[in-house]
Structure 1
């Protein structure tokens, strides 16, 4: 049988106590020198270039705005409704 976790009523079992020695003086912290210079890789260069740009494709947004203004942007209400329902089905606020 497994004992439950928590306080048990009854006799208290004696527990041995260990003594702790005083700590010796700790050496002063020194800055760590890097073993080698940092090498720029293709991934770090790509990351830096993407970080410099805004996360939105400004040209695409401008094209969509222009199409909406001209009345050429295809809006299909059933597609919009389907995607909103799919998004709602995937959204779980209590998780």
Structure 2
């Protein structure tokens, strides 16, 4: 027989027998723990600050962007219909907003 997930029908005693509930008392932080963060907490704060800094600046190669803009303005940017078609097909095959 397949057991269902979730609450079982029956008496409270039957439910309590197959689950062990242990109360956990809250512990008060010690003076040292309150004044000095752990290594893990310090490392997490450093990583959060680093992620925040990365979010300030977009990862864009501005020199390359200027080169592309200049090539488009001059009419020297290579436009290959085959490449455009290939990329459009790849986009259609791998990404569908209706999924």
TM range, smaller chain: 0.5 to 0.7
Q: Deviations over 1:16-55 (max 9, x none)?
A: 669x9x986x45335262466x79xxxx8xx68x836531
Matches within 5 A, 1:10-89: 12=10, 15=13, 26-30=26-30, 31=34, 33-34=36-37, 51=54, 53-89=57-93
Bigger radius of gyration, 1 or 2? 1
- List alignment gaps of at least 5 residues for structure 1: none
Separation in 2, partners of 1:34, 1:4: 45
Structure 2: tracts of 5 or more residues without a match: none
Higher helix share: 2
Residue correspondences, number: 80
